[in-house]
Structure 1
Amino acid sequence: MFGVFLLFLALFLASFNFIQKIWLKYILVISFLALFCLPLYQKNHSVINLWYSFFDAPCILSILLLLCFILRKMLKDFHTGLKITHFLEQNALNLAFCVVVFVLGLILFLGELNLIGFDLYHSSLMYQGMIVFIFVMILYLIKPFYGILALLSLVFMIGEKTAFDVLIDVYLWLFSLIFLVLKGLNKIKLRLRK
């Protein structure tokens, strides 16, 4: 449930980016979060609860990336000048990360639906471990920060069926898809202008 709360917090922070007055931006963010946490009907049926019931909780890697995004946005808004702000700016999500997450997610989700000949999610632990190792190494090669976040999320694997449960989910996969589509549209628009 905390992950869904963070998801909405990040969404609202990104949505109200056009507002120049910081105090107004954060009043709106807090107001919308409060509205989404209030029960709509009966007991415990808020928007966040309903969202959680439809799509489940974000994976640990998504939560860590959301925390980094929220921290980066808040430090940037309040002009703290801390060194961590520059570090988080350098390690914002990039195209290569989204391509790797999209491809792995596509293979996992198509396999789960039996649309391709193999299902990594229900394969043996040896194959899963090998795929997770390759995934973490590729993320580390893209940027060490991504690999470290992936390893950190694997530490929290207690109680999960597979390592894929803490590394990839629908939220992260959809974000990667949207990121790739928007980048592609930007490139097409730039080429059409020439």
Structure 2
Amino acid sequence: VVLYHLAAATGPEFEAFLERTIIVLDPCLNPDGHDRFAQWANSHRGRQLVSDPAHREHQETWPGGRTNHYWFDLNRDWLLLVHPESRGRVAAFQRWMPCVLTDHHEMGTDSTFFFQPGIPSRVNPLTPSRNIELTRALAEHHADALDGLGSLYFSEENFDDFYYGKGSTYPDIQGCI
């Protein structure tokens, strides 16, 4: 949706925004898991769309699409850089040094949409307080937009912001939100 909006939106205000902005999208961090998920979903879906979370299409078997070929969650490899995908991703991050990085991915069929910040008591003490403030400001923007749509979400209820090896926290020590 974001990519379509960036490619299709028009108007002087939006064109001025694009003139001043560099946007880098990493659309699929986990090709093995993505292929595994696509194979599952395409094999088990029917002609009629079914939103029931109990439907077979939405109940992917282990190891599922979350992990790579070695069953490792690449979203936890931003610091250790064990896997080549992670090394490439972090090299691109260091080359571009973005101001904002958003970490959007699946949450499973039994969860609503999550956005940072995570649990307030689980923030790494090295994270600058300004990062925490700016992340909260972005969260308020997300909450307002999702409230306007009547969409369910959660924030500050799960997931820590302590371990810097995740896509949502690695930017915190790199001068990025």
Q: TM-score, normalised by structure 2?
A: 0.31
Q: TM-score, normalised by structure 1?
A: 0.29
